[in-house]
Amino acid sequence: MSGVAKKRSEIPHQYQWDVESIFATPEAWETAVAQLQEQLKEIASFKGRLSEGPAVLADYFAAADEMMTAVGKVFVYASLSYSVDTNDQAAAARNDRARGMFGMAMAANAFAQPEMLAIGFDTLRKWLTQDERLADYGHYLDRLEQQQAHVRSAEVEQVLGLVRDSFSTAAATHGVLANADLKFEPAVGSDGQTYDITQGTIGGLTTHADRDVRRTAWTHYADAHLAFKNTMANALAAGVKQDVFNMRVRGYKNSLEAALSSNFIPTEVFHNLINTYKANLPTWHRYWNIRRRALGYDKLYPYDVKAPLSLDPPNVPYETAVDWIATGMLPLGQDYAATLRSGALEERWVDVYPNQGKRMGAFSSGVKGTHPFIMMSYTDDLFGLSTLAHELGHSMHSYLTWQTQQNMNYSRYGLFVAEVASNFNQAMVRAHLLEANSSPEFQIAVIEEAMANFHRYFFIMPTLARFELEIHERVERGQALNADTLNNLLADLFSEGFGDEVEVDRERVGITWAQFHTHLYSNFYVYQYATGISAAHSLAQGILAGTVDANDYLNFLKAGGSVFPLDALKIAGIDMTSPEPVETTFGVLAGYVDRLEALVGQRG
């Protein structure tokens, strides 16, 4: 690993994503923004007219689809450009304007659902048979009917649309502070070599073989966030208050119900996850103990939870990773694997390597009318491979949905199912790697990557979900949030998860919430990582065992938003209203722990 992060201009072109496929230049983006302004006026011309009949409603849907496609492209182009260089002020300005345009689009469209509710569902369903352009809107009406108690008047909906931009300021402020303004002291190795800490390099540094590198990277990264803990706490408190405001305006009982019900998920799914997680904490405690002994340490610290266990971890260049991932996904068919390979290697879906100013983490983006885009900071190891597999799962989900669903409303799938596709790819690729290479050290390397991923999705995310539930309930009760209360709450929750096996630095562990710069601003998003990994491993086990048909899984991906999320998973045979998938996946986790203990025990 190089100690100095590269400038954006130093990243080879083939490893930068193809944003020019959306707009060739910033000037072309400006032209699209001007055109979008006209489309907003066209949408406004339908206000008060939807009751005129099926033809007008069909015309409205066509215009709304065109507008949302346009605003999606404007938003994606701006956000992608800003994400890879948060120091680029022109890109920052475009990103800010794009957020404003998105809010304006929501406001312009706010009259539609109240007008449809006034028409009545019996009439609307008759209209579906009277104009062929409306034939595919049955599920749209089903969703609207389920949500009708929480749809407000046109005037209130317009206001809620208009405040979307200003309500995103808390998250944006946190993000700007973390991605552009935080300054990190470099990590220092046992040999005195220094390593730049950026949002793109921190993941690699905390998996470094040198314990001093891991320790100083972890502490300096946490300390930079602690230096601004009050500002970040104020931003998060504002974000939670906005969630509570929206919950009350829309007439939900609480923020959890508001977040889950609006995505057609019963709250029992959340509580099943949390209860099953707490019941299985001893599995994590056992893993920490095995890890400590494998590393030969007297004490295990948080910066050791991803320390390399393999004595000979494989070097995995980007192109090799793509090949291994495509091969691992062959049970889904040649077409799936070939599309994935072409997107990652030829069509430049992926912005591959870290650079100065690149925001933290990884994500898949895009809208119908673009190809998928993946931002990551690839490292030449199994961790980089796994992150790539995860994001390619998202991207292939989007690709297949966009290819199948012509209705713009169904081209967007919910967050609940999104994390299934990503974790499924990781599970399938790990199974392939473990089958393909019997070397004990390679097997240990694969399992330690798997455990690092489980640590994030099946340990950190359920912990953050418990944290999120508590801070929302506190605000609902009128209690204040500040940095110290947030830090102490999260330190308590992590201490429960670590048990007696990990030495907890309460202040630095407690600030973990501040290191999730977007997740905690997406109301009750994080629990879906854990439900997603649960459904994913249940599906992967079924496909590998031959009890789940790969075509059923592909049909789940292709369904997009054309069915309710739980029904989409039932296409592939998974029932997430039951705790069984979570329990099954804890069984997978326990199996990895057993296998790891046996492998490290063979070393003598």
Q: Which of 523, 542, 517 is nearest to 472 (CA)?
A: 523
**Range with the poorest average pLDDT among 168-182, 278-292, 473-487:** 168-182
- Pick the catalytic residue: 157, 391, 419, 468? 391
Whole-number Å distance between alpha carbons of 436 and 338: 20
Domain contains 107 = yes
pLDDT value, residue 163: 85
Q: Can you tell me the distance from the alpha carbon of 179 to that of 190, in angstroms, rounded to the nearest whole number? A: 28
* pLDDT confidence of residue 604: 62
Report the alpha-carbon angle 373-261-422, nearest 5: 30
Helix 267-279, helix 461-476: angle, nearest 10: 130
Query: What average pLDDT score do residues 357-365 get?
Result: 89
Burial class (CB in 10 A: 0-12, 13-18, 19+), 35: exposed
148 located within any domain: yes
Per-residue pLDDT of 85-110, as tens digits, reads: 988 999 999 999 999 999 899 889 98
pLDDT-based confidence at 2, cuts 50/70/90? Answer: very low
For residue 137, is it within any domain?
yes
**pLDDT at residue 165, as a whole number:** 79
Neighbours of 417 (CB within 10 A): 27
Residue 595 lies inside a defined structural domain of this protein: no
What is the mean predicted confidence (pLDDT) over 486-509? 97
**Mean pLDDT calculated for residue range 272-290:** 96
Domains contained in the chain, number: 1
Chain-wide mean pLDDT for the chain?
Answer: 94
Taking the C-alpha atoms of residue 78 and residue 74, their distance in angstroms, rounded to an integer, is 6
Tell me the pLDDT tens digit for each residue of 196-247.
998 878 888 998 999 999 999 999 999 999 999 999 999 999 999 999 999 9
Phi, psi (rounded to 5 degrees) for 461: -65, -45
What mean pLDDT comes out for the span 116-142?
96
The string of pLDDT tens digits covering residues 588-598 is 999 999 999 99
Percent of the chain exceeding pLDDT 90 equals 86
Q: Within a domain: residue 124?
A: yes
| Structural domain that includes position 23 | 8-167
At 197 the pLDDT is 92
pLDDT at residue 554, rounded to an integer = 98
Residue pair 512/506 in contact (Cβ under 8 Å)? The answer is: no
What are φ and ψ of residue 520, in 5° steps? -80, 0
pLDDT at 161: 79
Supply the pLDDT for residue 3. Answer: 54
Q: How far is CA 156 from the centre of its chain?
A: 30
Residue 84 resides in a domain: yes
> Which of 32-36, 143-147, 156-160 has the lowest average pLDDT?
156-160
CA atoms of 179 and 151, how far apart (whole Å): 36
Q: How far apart are the first and last CA of the chain?
A: 31
Confidence bin at 517 (pLDDT 50/70/90): confident
Whether 114 maps to a domain, the answer reads yes
Classify residue 68: in a domain, yes or no. Answer: yes
In the chain, the amino acid numbered 375 is M
Catalytic residue list contains 391: yes
Looking up residue 23, the CATH number of its domain turns out to be 1.20.140.70
C-alpha to C-alpha distance for 304 and 287, rounded to whole angstroms: 12
- Residue-wise pLDDT for 383-433, tens only, equals 999 999 999 999 999 999 999 999 999 999 988 899 999 999 999 999 999
Query: What pLDDT is attached to residue 403?
Result: 96
pLDDT at residue 49 in the model: 97
Please report, rounded to a whole number, the percentage of residues in the chain having pLDDT higher than 70: 99
